[in-house]
Structures are given as structure tokens and as C-alpha cells.
Amino acid sequence: MENITKVAIQGIKASFHEEAAVKFFGQNIQTIECSSFKQTCEILAKDEADYVVMAIENSIAGSLLPNYNLLREYNFSIEGEVYLPIQLHLMALPGVKFDNIKYVTSHPIAIRQCVDFFDEYPHLQIIESTDTAACAKRIKTEQLQDTVAIANSLAAELYELNIIERRIESNKKNYTRFLILKKEKTEEIETINKASISFEVGNYVGALSKVLNIFAEHDVNLTKIQSMPVLGKRNEYYFYVDIEWKNRENYESSLRKVLKYTVNFNIMGEYKKNDQV
């Protein structure tokens, strides 16, 4: 019997996380629905899933900062990444007219991606929820006549809702980047050309610049940098950095030099860059 990959996701069926999981792994997976990102990590830690799919940044709403804390807390290996175009639609029960709508419900990140729409309709009351698809399901289950959800077309189809306004996201080039997390690191593959690392530097002038210059000198491309305060320590920060390279030796040489100027250095994952958006 063929083993089915178990993937923990934040949200329920037809959520963007499930869509990202299918895009990375294919259809032959079992998604484990979780109510929070913390729960997905607990599921993986207990070996009740093989992987976690975790959103880490959106091109409009920015980084999901609490998830960086989870990456550090659980120290899972980043095995890959998925870029998912985000198309957000307004959906309601069949027969419901826009004029009857009083409430709009969705995930806070989805709501932030639709700020221009809400500026046009300030009378609509926003209700935040844990998951886009769950909002669509609630409208169907409770037969809410005065409420619309913001979610994807999969949710509208699954929960038999009508899309009354399409593509309400503020930027039509909207995408979310998801990380693929595994409890233990997979044996190294030859095609890796991207890494996610974290570290601290000393609190003196030019400390971070020195590290970043080393990467530049070795032709290692910095694609993202995110800082997070070190809990309980003033003016101290963790830096989370994504880097890409064409020459593996350059990458390894840069890391050896960077180690001299950093503390708590950690390679969170080495994986193949995903160019598909």
C-alpha cells in the first residue's frame, strides 16, 4: 500500500494552505486541519504529520512575524518553499444581494490585502477569523444572510457559495510565500541553491553590514532579511536571512567567514529555490 504524505496546515479544506500543500506535494496527500500555526508545529513535533506548510510572508501584508518565532522555537528544517498567487473573492449564500450585507469575515491577513475595497464600503463591519475557508464554511453551515466571506474560489465551490465580487485584493500581483517544514533534515540534494539562516551580531557600528558584505563579496545573493527582537534583551535582535547562490563553494566559503562575526548562528534549511509563482 502506497504511503500518503501527511501535511499539517493552518485552516481547513479549500484554504490557501491546502492549496499550497497540493501545489508542492501533488494531490496524493492527507491534510491535517489545525486551528493555529502553533498547533501545526505541535502535530509535527509529535510525529502525527510528515510536514507542515506555513505561510511566512505576503507581498501586500508583509511578513508573518509570529511564525518566525515558531521557526526558532521548534527548530524544524525548511525543506522547500511555495509561492501561491492569492486571488480573493467576496462570497455569500445564493440569492443574497450586496445591499443586504452588514458583515465581512476573513483571516486578518486576507483583510489587510483588501484595504482599498473596504475604503469604498466603510459601513461594512469586519469580523476577523482564523481561516478564510472556515469563514465560507460558517456562512454555509449557519445560513448567514447578512454576512460575506473573503476567500478563494475553491472555498466558494466547496461550500456552495456565490461569488458576488471577484478579485477584491488591492494588488492583482498578490502572492504568499509558504515554507515546507520537516522535523528532521532530509539528506542533501544536489539541486539546492537557497538557504534560510538566522543569527545575532554584536551591538556595534557596522556589525550587520560586515556580515552582509561577506555574502556580497562571495556572489551570494541576499533575497530577504527580517529582524526580530531577542526576548528580554534590549537592543538585541535575531536576523533571519534568505540567500541564493550559483556556486556552492562560494556559499560555503561565505558561511565560514560569517561565523566569525555572528553568535547563535543557525542554518534553518537548505533547499531548491522555487521560481514558480
pLDDT of residue 232: 83
Which domain, by its residues, includes 128? Answer: 89-165
Q: Do residues 208 and 198 touch, judged by C-beta distance below 8 A? A: no
Helices (runs of H) and strands (runs of E) counted in the chain:
9, 15
pLDDT of residue 276: 66
pLDDT of residue 212: 97
CATH number for the domain spanning 14: value is 3.40.190.10
Q: Is 142 exposed, middle or buried (0-12, 13-18, 19+ CB in 10 A)?
A: exposed
Q: Mark the ranges of the chain whose per-residue pLDDT is less than 70.
A: 1-2, 188-189, 276-277
276 domain-assigned: no
pLDDT of residue 199: 97
Q: Report pLDDT digits (tens) over 13-36.
A: 999 999 999 999 999 999 999 999
pLDDT of residue 1: 45
pLDDT of residue 189: 67
Q: How many domains does the chain have?
A: 3
Residues 10 and 120 in one domain: no
**Contacts made by residues 168-172, CB under 8 angstroms, sequence distance 24+:** 168/88, 168/89, 168/90, 168/114, 168/117, 169/60, 169/86, 169/87, 169/88, 169/113, 169/114, 170/60, 170/113, 170/114, 170/115, 170/116, 170/117, 171/59, 171/60, 171/113
Q: Do residues 29 and 8 touch, judged by C-beta distance below 8 A? A: no
% of the chain at pLDDT higher than 90: 89
CATH number for the domain spanning 233: value is 3.30.70.260
Q: Report pLDDT digits (tens) over 199-257.
A: 999 888 899 999 999 999 999 999 999 999 988 888 889 999 999 999 999 999 999 99
Cell representation of residue 118:
473596504
